Amino acid sequence: MTGRLIFVLGDQLSRGLSALADIDPCHDVVLMVEVREEGTYVPHHKQKIAFLLSAMRHFAADLRAEGIRVDYVRLDEPENTHSFTGELARAVTRHKPQSVVLTGPGEWRVGEMILTWPEVLGVPVEVREDDRFFCAIRDFAELSSRGKTKRMENFYREMRRRTGFLMEAGKPVGGKWNYDAENRKALPKGHKLPKRRRFTPDATTREVMALVEDQFPDHFGDLDRFAWPVTRAEALQALEDFITHALPQFGDWQDAMKTGEDFLYHALLSPALNAGLLTASEACEAAEAAYTAGKVPLNAAEGFIRQILGWREFVRGLYWTEMPDYGQTNFLNAKRPLPWFYWSGQTKMHCIAEVVRGTRQNAYAHHIQRLMVTGNFALLAGIAPAEIEAWYLAVYADAFDWVELPNTHGMVAHADGGRLGSKPYAASAAYIGRMSDYCRGCRYDAKARTGANACPFNYLYWNFLITHRDKFGANPRMALPYKALDRFDGAEQAAICADAEDFLAKMNTPEGEPPAQMSLGDW
Ligand SMILES: Cc1cc2nc3c(=O)[nH]c(=O)nc-3n(C[C@H](O)[C@H](O)[C@H](O)COP(=O)(O)OP(=O)(O)OC[C@H]3O[C@@H](n4cnc5c(N)ncnc54)[C@H](O)[C@@H]3O)c2cc1C
Ligand code: SF4
């Protein structure tokens, strides 16, 4: 008879995981399972599935090397029931443990599943807190009750005070909390970007890549450029590479976009962080140490730490304190289906084609591409929040519900009515033109507001303001755009609405084609 069955999920690959803290290698068994249900509830990018399976197999091997017994169920095992509940039930029969222990999951959906386990399994189930974050959910709830989580910025300052990152005698280092205003530069022509550390797939990764190609042939995305860190050692190398070669200029070019350049100065750490190969505190400590050693400027270190200590913790707190209602709202009553070009990339809009290309090749796009290109378009075009969410959850290697949902539902779709952001992230072609070189290679005219050649982002943007005037007209942060809109005469506003209506009606016909590997029935 086994002591405890310790169930480790695919995004819990941390040796310091609470469920593993007091493991007794003589009596306890770790259970890890590869199940189809988790790979298919949205059509996850092939690289995302390969990343998680490879990282899980490596983690299991590391535990075994420590002398820990690991019961690992592979995807292609004939008896695999392909669900967490089914595999746990089989493992309980195999091992007859006194109890099942696990660390709380990152997804509400799995949390609901866990509630059924004591009865289904017939053994006690102990769910421990996931303490790999800076802010426990109960602390976030307590901060919310004191109005400290109304905006990310208030929360972030509170977290700086609590953790002491970039603080000196109770005050922010450098005298300012936030250097974002310095972080909005476009890349100058001829700017030389650093070569980033990527990882050649080893035998384990190659094996799961073949498995994924075999088992999930219809899923979105290419596998041939797979280069994610899949072990703890590789994740540490990726962190080191980022801190040394990219962080010094991360701040300056954080919002920039460039054709053919998919990574720029971004960390490329989110898959490793979200799967647990790296901890948030390791990433923030490394950035602070580089600043203290004079190797990176303050705007870069602060900008990076804010993304993790601020945004990452904030969206997690929001998710767990507002679910399950959070994902149900649709403030802007957006109802259109997601256009096919989000999968195929077949659109004349060069910016979207470019982001979908990078997404297909890398299972990655950086924040501004997600927010201000594909996200912005979905907002302006009134795409149903659930459709946008399913796409973002499927296509990025770092996508897990707790982080993807608030970013998509709140930040992109403004479906939460402003809980996450005080104004919608809506922008015309002027923003994309300023921050990238995309418009130079585009068939549309970024300057034209209406007409056959006008950039769709332009008439859709003004149409969005006209349509939602009742919701945003009185918002002080939207005063400038509404003032600009009011300078257009009635005929111009009518032309904007007509062009927007025409484009939206035809959006799925000349612009995009269903990708060959998916049928309409898939959605
Ligand atoms: C619509 C949309 C969907 C997103 N979905 C996800 C997702 O599923 N998973 C995910 O990890 N991030 C998501 N993000 C946030 C962000 O885009 C990614 O974290 C980032 O692009 C990851 O790349 P990087 O590691 O190079 O990050 P960098 O830009 O270098 O940032 C450093 C780190 O900060 C954290 N971070 C930055 N911004 C955010 C944010 N808004 N929310 C949470 N953490 C943040 C990440 O851990 C990231 O690794 C989403 C953003 C948008 C707009
Ligand atoms: S012109 Fe419009 S569609 Fe073309 S790249 Fe610029 S913003 Fe995108």
* pLDDT tens string 252-282: 899 999 999 999 999 999 999 999 999 999 9
Rounded average pLDDT over 347-357: 97
The residues near 3 (Cβ < 8 Å, ≥ 6 apart) are 24, 26, 27, 28, 29, 97, 98
Q: How far is the CA of 431 from the centre of ligand 2 (A)?
A: 10
> Which residues does a 6 A CB cutoff place in the pocket of ligand 1?
266-270, 273-274, 304, 307-308, 311-312, 315, 366-367, 370-371, 375, 392, 396, 398-399, 403-404, 407-408, 411-412
Q: How far is the CA of 392 from the centre of ligand 1 (A)?
A: 11
Pocket test for ligand 2, best of 346, 428, 455, 511 (most atoms within 8 A of CB): 455
**Pairing of β 29-33 and β 4-7:** parallel
Q: How far apart are the first and last CA of the chain?
A: 45
Q: Which pLDDT score is estimated for 183?
A: 72
CA of 354, closest atom in ligand 2: 5
Please state the pTM of the whole predicted model. 0.96
Residue with tokens 């979207």: 352
Ligand with smallest separation from the Cα of 444: 2
The residues near 94 (Cβ < 8 Å, ≥ 6 apart) are 71
Q: How far is the CA of 59 from the centre of ligand 2 (A)?
A: 43
Compute the C-alpha angle 103/106/112, nearest 5°. 85
**Pairing of β 171-172 and β 99-103:** unpaired
Ligand with smallest separation from the Cα of 239: 1
Q: How far is the CA of 410 from the centre of ligand 1 (A)?
A: 14
Per the prediction, the chain carries an average pLDDT of: 94
- C-alpha 88/C-alpha 109 separation (Å) is 17
> Which residues does a 6 A CB cutoff place in the pocket of ligand 2?
349-351, 429, 432-433, 438-439, 442, 444, 446, 455, 457
CA dihedral sign of residues 73, 79, 85, 90: negative
Q: What are phi and psi of 517, to 5 degrees?
A: -85, 0
Ligand with smallest separation from the Cα of 393: 1
Output the CA torsion 205→207→211→213 (10° steps).
Answer: 70
Q: pLDDT digits over 403-417, tens only?
A: 999 999 999 999 999
**Token digits for 53?**
């399976």
CA of 265, closest atom in ligand 1: 30
Contact status, residue 131 vs residue 139, Cβ threshold 8 Å: no
The residues near 387 (Cβ < 8 Å, ≥ 6 apart) are 336, 337, 338, 523
Is the per-residue pLDDT at 516 higher than 70?
Answer: no
- 328: confidence class by pLDDT, cuts 50, 70, 90: very high
